[in-house]
Amino acid sequence: MICLALFLIGAVGCRQLRYRLDRRPPKQFVPNPLELPAMQDTYLWQQVVDTVDDYFRIATEQPVQNSNQYMLDGRLETSYQIGGSIVELWRKDSTAGFEVRESTLQTIRRKATVIVRPSEAGYLVEVIVQKDLENTDGTQFSTETAITRRNDGSMVRQNAADQNLPQTIGWIAQGRDTSLEQRILRDIFARATAPTR
């Protein structure tokens, strides 16, 4: 009996662990915006928030409202987040393949915006993930801008700004991260259309 209980606990935990560590993009294309069937607006909004919270930290949210008197779009925006690298298996904001390798070798940040629009047939869910590349004034540990040592014996003081660390000038927009958009849409669809228990 105890072995059966331990097996069931392990199986449930392993399934959750498998969900957390899965970075693969979806095998089939999900339309963006995604059309969902009619359901309670609060239930759909909770599923959207719960899904996006697995990927990013939420900055602002305005829930969707669909009643007889009015229909309001729901909008959720996240904070910028530096992309997870190959060794950060628990981070889901970088999909497998090119995206996770790029986030490992470059400083990439992402921000997501999710818009939920009521329609006649149900809801339209649109996910937009913007990706930016860090722009620095030089590369780390390079000799291209290194200060040469003086030979005259004079004392040179080192400030923190004189260290060979690159300084961030800004961020270069890289467009949309469609593989992550597809993954988030697939998760929203799976949660919103799952049969209730």
Residues 30-50 pLDDT 10s? 888 999 998 998 999 999 999
Instruction: Report the candidate in 99, 104, 129, 100 with the shortest Cα–Cα distance to residue 114.
Output: 129
pTM over 0.85: no
Residues 84-98 pLDDT 10s? 888 887 777 878 788
User: In whole angstroms, what is the distance from residue 28 CA to residue 141 CA?
Assistant: 43
| Omega before 118 within 30 of 0, i.e. cis | no
Distances in Å between the Cα of 54 and the Cα atoms of 20, 84, 92, 125, 188 are 9, 13, 7, 17, 11
Residues 52-79 pLDDT 10s? 999 999 999 999 887 777 888 999 999 9
Using the predicted structure, report yes or no on whether residue 8 has a pLDDT greater than 70.
no
SS3 per residue for the chain: CHHHHHHHHHHHHHHHHHHHHCCCCCCCCCCCCEEEECCCHHHHHHHHHHHHHCCCCEEEEECCEECCCCEECEEEEECCEECCCCCCCCCCCCCCCHHHHHHHHCCEEEEEEEEEEECCCEEEEEEEEEEEEEEECCCCCCCCCCCCCCCCCCCCCCCHHHCCCCCEEEEEEEEECHHHHHHHHHHHHHHHCCCCC
One-letter amino acid identity for 65? Q
Q: Report the mean per-residue pLDDT for the chain.
A: 80
Q: Give the torsion through C-alpha atoms of 45, 51, 54, 60, to 10 deg.
A: -30
Tell me the residue length of the chain: 197
> Going by CATH, does the domain composed of 26-127+177-192 fall within 3.40.50?
no
